[in-house]
Structure 1
Amino acid sequence: MEDKQMLMIPGPTPVPERVLLAMAKCPTGHRSGEFSKIMAEVTAKLQWLHQTKNDVLILTVSGTGAMEAGIINFLNKGDRVLVGNNGKFGERWAQMSRVFGLNVTEIKAESGKPLDTEAFRAELEADTQKHIKAVIITHSETSTGVLNDLPTINSYVKAHGESLIIVDAVTSLGAINIPVDEWGLDIVASGSQKGYMIPPGLGFVCVSPKAWEAYKTATLPRFYLDLEPYRKSASKDTTPFTPPVNLIFALQAALQMMEREGLENIFARHQRLTQAIRAGIKALGLPLFAPDHAASTAVTSVIPTQIDAEEIRSTMKKRYDIAIAGGQDELKGKIFRIGHLGFVCDRDILAAISALDGTLHALGYEGADYGAGVAATAKIL
């Protein structure tokens, strides 16, 4: 059926109707008083979402752009950094860091496994000369569905004293509790097309006072992603460059929806949907890629046996107009990923599991106990 596609991928995520309608409004001048009032509102609500009094800056970039800004504004060529790498995005931050001439030590884990927190502790404790200037972590590794233990790793960074912690929270911000001020996180990057429930195009960087101190001596080249002009402009409820005005309208509407739902309810909803979809997949006899204790609340990865993951994706799309994500790089064709992030509710999870049940049946998968997936999912919900 035309125009019936259901997005169950980790991004872009579904967009609420009122957010789409906000985007459809006529643009206003980005230097107008009217727009300044909107900027003041979204800035305050972004601080609410991040649970912080720190600056939360809005950039016209993707999540990768937000992470780049979070790296180049606070470090110098030759600085030693620890980068957690247990998937595509951890690998990306290591590559990016090397591009800018940083001295990278990677702490790796096998795909589908969480980062070893003790490896971070050992590296940080051994650094008695305080050469490690930053620890760069992907909180929710979207490529595998693994949630890394940010609180524990952060505690070791805090014990080190000198190092900054730079967090990719692209698929965790708005899906799980990240109390920025309570944890003392220095740089937190996220993107609009995930938990924010709006289309791609905006990136967000939350910056601590400690990070701003590091900014004063940072010398890596930057212009459009220089965060100081954004900070100065935000204090006046404006922007240094022309923003995507209608995406700011969308952000305003989405943050209003999130505030009405409440942080605790948002986090509880994502946790419940994660448990439900994992229960349904297990009941269908499909192996999960990430362990229960390190399960992302944004995306669940499945490693099917007897049947190609791409066949499952293709059949889900053709028969049910439900889009799920595939594996990336070496995991292509081996896993598929179901997103449950942002504007997703119980009905969506039930529909996805029911369609997966029908897909497995159509493909002749012998390991499935047909109907059990929906029953197990419904029991959790």
Structure 2
Amino acid sequence: MDDKHMLMIPGPTPVPEKVLLALSKHPIGHRSGEFSQIMAEVTQNLKWLHQTQNDVLVLTVSGTGAMEAGIINFLSPGDRVLVGSNGKFGDRWAAMSAAFGLEVETITADWGKPLDTEQFREKLAADTEKNIKAVIITHSETSTGVLNDLETINRHVKEHGEALMIVDAVTSLGAVNLPVDEWGIDVVASGSQKGYMIPPGLGFVSVSPKAWEAYKTAKLPRFYLDLGKYSKTAAKNSNPFTPPVNLVVALQAALRMMQAEGLESIFARHQRLMRATREAVQALSLPLFGPDEAASPAITAVAPVSVESEQIRAVMKKRFDISLAGGQDDYKGKIFRIGHLGFVSDRDILAAIGALEATLRELGYESMTPGAGIAAAARVFAQS
């Protein structure tokens, strides 16, 4: 049957009908008064979502572009940075920092394990000359389904006093509590195709006053991603370059939906979906890739033993038109990932788990009790 495709990947995520309808409107001029009014509302609601009074700037980029902007605007060649790396995206930020001539020191953990906050404390405490200019971490490591302890790492950064805290929140913003002002986080980058519930194409960067002070002396080259330009035009409800007008209109609709649901309800929903998915997977005797205490509300990574991950994904797509994500880099073919980020409901999880059970039966998997996954997920939903 056509048009029944179900996205259960960490991004792009499902898009609500209200947002699709907003996206389909005829474009308007990006220098018009009408568009300025939309930008004013969007900017205010972005600050609400970020729990900040600081600038939240809208760029026509992916999440990677937002992170690049978050790095190059506040640092200079040769600056020493600590980069947390326990997955594909931590590795990416280390490579990106090195590409811009920064002195990169990585703090690593095995894929599937959270970063050790004590290692950050030790490195920062030992830096008595304050040479470390930034700490860069991924909050929700999408490649493994691990949520790093940003609050603790950020506290160690604040005790250091000099370093900026630069955060990839691409799959955590809009899924887990991230109080930017309360924690005093300096730079937070995110992307539209995740918790924002709109298609890819927009990136967002929140910037603290401390980061703006660093901007004044930063010497890395920038032009299109010069956040100073975006800040000046944002104050006038505009943009320094041509934005994707229809995506901004879609963002307006999505943020209205998020406000109607409320932050606490959004966070609780993602926790509920995560718990239901993890308990269902365990009830099917499938090993989880990461520990419960560091589980991401965005995705659940599964490491099957007696049945191949890529076979599971192929049957899910062919028979049920449900897309699951595969493993990346060294874990390609070893894990699969179930996304539960953004416009996802209890019903979606039940459908995905039911399809997963049927897929496992088709593949001859005998280590489960039929219906156990659905029952486990249903218990979580009944308790919530």
Q: TM-score, normalised by structure 1?
A: 1.00
Residues 256-287 of structure 1: per-residue CA shift (max 9 Å, x gap): 00000000000000001000010100000000
Match of 1:26 in 2: 26
Given the alignment of the two structures, is residue 326 of structure 1 paired with residue 326 of structure 2, yes or no? yes
Match of 2:137 in 1: 137
Match of 2:367 in 1: 367
Counterpart CA distance in 1 for 2:369 and 2:277 is 15
Given the alignment of the two structures, is residue 98 of structure 1 paired with residue 98 of structure 2, yes or no? yes
Match of 2:39 in 1: 39
Q: Report how far residue 368 of structure 1 moved.
A: 1.6
| Ranges in structure 2 where 5+ consecutive residues have no aligned partner | none
Q: Report how far residue 106 of structure 1 moved.
A: 0.2
Instruction: Give SS of 1:82's match.
Output: strand
Match of 1:192 in 2: 192
2:133 maps to amino acid = K
Instruction: Give SS of 1:31's match.
Output: coil
Match of 1:305 in 2: 305
Counterpart CA distance in 1 for 2:131 and 2:369 is 55
Q: Report how far residue 159 of structure 1 moved.
A: 0.3
Given the alignment of the two structures, is residue 15 of structure 1 paired with residue 21 of structure 2, yes or no? no
Stretches (4+) displaced over 4 A = none
2:354 maps to amino acid = S
Match of 2:257 in 1: 257
Q: How does 1:1-381 map to 2 (within 5 A)?
A: 1-381=1-381
Instruction: Give SS of 1:174's match.
Output: coil
Q: Report how far residue 125 of structure 1 moved.
A: 0.3
| Ranges in structure 1 where 5+ consecutive residues have no aligned partner | none
Counterpart CA distance in 1 for 2:95 and 2:28 is 39
Instruction: Give SS of 2:90's match.
Output: helix
The percent of aligned pairs where both chains have the same amino acid is: 74
Counterpart CA distance in 2 for 1:87 and 1:277 is 21
1:187 maps to amino acid = V
Counterpart CA distance in 2 for 1:361 and 1:126 is 55
Residues 129-169 of structure 1: per-residue CA shift (max 9 Å, x gap): 00000000100000000000000000000000000000000
2:247 maps to amino acid = L
Instruction: Give SS of 2:57's match.
Output: strand
Counterpart CA distance in 2 for 1:297 and 1:334 is 21
Counterpart CA distance in 1 for 2:248 and 2:374 is 38
Q: Report how far residue 34 of structure 1 moved.
A: 0.4
Q: Report how far residue 369 of structure 1 moved.
A: 1.7
Counterpart CA distance in 2 for 1:95 and 1:370 is 45
Instruction: Give SS of 1:7's match.
Output: strand
Instruction: Give SS of 1:49's match.
Output: helix
Q: TM-score, normalised by structure 2?
A: 0.99
Counterpart CA distance in 2 for 1:369 and 1:289 is 21
Counterpart CA distance in 2 for 1:237 and 1:28 is 15
Q: Report how far residue 307 of structure 1 moved.
A: 1.1
Instruction: Give SS of 1:223's match.
Output: coil
Counterpart CA distance in 1 for 2:131 and 2:220 is 18
Q: Report how far residue 30 of structure 1 moved.
A: 0.5
Counterpart CA distance in 1 for 2:23 and 2:309 is 36
2:371 maps to amino acid = G
Counterpart CA distance in 2 for 1:6 and 1:299 is 15
Counterpart CA distance in 2 for 1:45 and 1:81 is 32
Q: Report how far residue 182 of structure 1 moved.
A: 0.1
Instruction: Give SS of 1:137's match.
Output: strand
Residues 318-368 of structure 1: per-residue CA shift (max 9 Å, x gap): 111100000001000000000000000000000011110001010001212
Counterpart CA distance in 1 for 2:302 and 2:75 is 37
Counterpart CA distance in 1 for 2:369 and 2:82 is 45
Q: Report how far residue 3 of structure 1 moved.
A: 1.4
Counterpart CA distance in 1 for 2:125 and 2:52 is 28
Counterpart CA distance in 1 for 2:178 and 2:330 is 30
Counterpart CA distance in 2 for 1:217 and 1:205 is 19
Residues 199-245 of structure 1: per-residue CA shift (max 9 Å, x gap): 00000000000000000000100000000010000000000000000
Q: RMSD across aligned C-alpha pairs, in angstroms? A: 0.4
Instruction: Give SS of 2:18's match.
Output: helix
2:203 maps to amino acid = G
